[in-house]
């Protein structure tokens, strides 16, 4: 019964980490509910879009007389700010942001005009990044293996805390999940999205890639200990502590970004 409880708790902890990473990252859309006095019942401002797709749509749900506009330009450029009106259809104000090349970014602000006055829905400039379409055969296993890696990491940590001796096969399987998710399918996803497979150390400053590398370096000593039948409890707990710290850092920070001046994809952008 205790083991089942640990598996369930491990799953819930892993799910919490995944939700935290998703909702705190720079690609999570800006969302809002009702805006008093305007008839707006909700809005969504995208911060991650697909090149050539229709997912980069500013959306405002409302009832009543309302008009609006979007002020936008390419990110980190001296372009003049463009002003585009929000279009209306079926109780929805919307605007499809102009598509950009993979890793290209736009910054924009959204304003609505109501008889009671003008309101800005955006919390200052919103930055959205474009990515190339990623096939499901690459993205799905990447997500699954990375989730399983964190799931097993939590469960192994419980074993180290309660039973003292981590199971050898569990640590081996966990490293396999990390290698498959972070070093095989992860680079494939990034290649399709931004045209570069690895932009972490020593080639760049991509925080996601560098976090993956850090977790590998943290778990290798634990793997060596269990394979050599050496005391591994402290190394396993240290590896989990590093993993948990990594998962507390929002996803996609300092990722790939198109430098419009040189037309080159660089890393280190927010």
Same domain? For 102 and 121 the reply is yes
Residue 14: give the domain boundaries.
2-25+135-269
Q: What is the chain's pLDDT, residue by residue, as a tens digit (270 residues)?
A: 678 888 999 999 999 999 998 888 889 999 998 887 778 889 999 999 999 988 899 999 987 678 899 999 999 999 999 999 999 888 789 999 999 999 999 999 999 988 878 889 998 899 999 999 999 999 999 999 999 999 999 999 998 888 767 778 899 999 999 999 999 999 999 999 999 888 888 887 888 899 999 999 999 999 999 888 888 889 999 999 999 999 988 877 777 898 998 988 887 665
The residues, ordered by sequence, that sit 6+ positions from 19 with a Cβ below 8 Å of its Cβ are none
Whole-angstrom Cα distance, residue 121 to residue 180?
41
What backbone phi and psi angles, to 5 degrees, belong to 30?
-80, 120
Same domain? For 176 and 249 the reply is yes
Same domain? For 141 and 253 the reply is yes
* Distance set, CA 5 to CA 12, 62, 162, 182 (Å): 11, 46, 13, 28
**Predicted TM-score (pTM) of this structure:** 0.89
Same domain? For 40 and 105 the reply is yes
Same domain? For 232 and 204 the reply is yes
In the prediction, which pLDDT does 207 show? Answer: 83
Same domain? For 117 and 203 the reply is no
Whole-angstrom Cα distance, residue 261 to residue 79?
11
In the prediction, which pLDDT does 233 show? Answer: 87
- Of 251, 225, 227, residue with least CA distance to 238: 225
Same domain? For 72 and 140 the reply is no
Whole-angstrom Cα distance, residue 218 to residue 214?
6
What is the tally of structural domains in the chain?
2
Same domain? For 105 and 45 the reply is yes
Domain boundary (114, 131, 148) is at 131
Same domain? For 251 and 156 the reply is yes
Same domain? For 166 and 86 the reply is no
Domain boundary (104, 131, 158) is at 131
Residue 155 class from Cβ within 10 Å (0-12 exposed, 13-18 middle, 19+ buried)? buried
Domain boundary (131, 156, 185) is at 131
SS3 state at 266: strand
Same domain? For 106 and 158 the reply is no
The sign of the torsion formed by the CA atoms of 206, 210, 211, 213 equals positive
- Of 127, 82, 124, 135, residue with least CA distance to 104: 127
Check if the beta carbon of residue 113 is closer than 8 Å to that of residue 68: yes
Same domain? For 189 and 74 the reply is no
């Amino acid at each position: 019964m205790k083991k089942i409880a640990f598996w369930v708790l491990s799953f819930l902890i892993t799910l919490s980490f995944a939700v935290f990473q998703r909702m705190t990252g720079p690609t999570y859309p800006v969302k809002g509910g009702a805006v008093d006095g305007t008839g707006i019942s909700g809005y969504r401002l995208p911060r991650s879009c697909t090149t050539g797709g229709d997912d980069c749509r500013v959306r405002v749900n409302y009832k009543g007389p309302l008009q609006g506009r979007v002020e936008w330009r390419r990110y980190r450029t001296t372009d003049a700010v463009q002003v585009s009106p929000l279009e209306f259809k079926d109780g929805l104000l919307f605007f499809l942001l102009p598509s950009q090349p993979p890793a290209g970014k736009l910054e924009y602000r959204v304003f609505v005009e109501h008889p009671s006055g003008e309101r800005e829905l955006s919390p200052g400039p919103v930055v959205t990044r474009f990515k190339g379409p990623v096939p499901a055969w690459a993205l799905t296993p990447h997500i699954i293996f990375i989730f399983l890696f964190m799931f097993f990491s939590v469960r192994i940590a419980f074993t180290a805390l309660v039973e003292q001796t981590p199971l050898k096969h569990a640590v081996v399987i966990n490293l396999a999940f990390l290698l498959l998710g972070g070093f095989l399918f992860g680079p494939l996803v990034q290649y399709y999205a931004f045209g570069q497979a690895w932009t972490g150390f020593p080639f760049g400053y991509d925080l996601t890639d560098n976090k993956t590398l850090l977790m590998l370096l943290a778990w290798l000593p634990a793997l060596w200990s269990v394979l050599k039948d050496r005391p591994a409890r402290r190394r396993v707990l240290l590896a989990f502590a590093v993993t948990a710290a990594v998962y507390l850092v929002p996803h996609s920070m300092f990722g790939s970004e198109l430098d419009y001046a040189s037309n080159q994809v660089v890393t280190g952008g927010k």
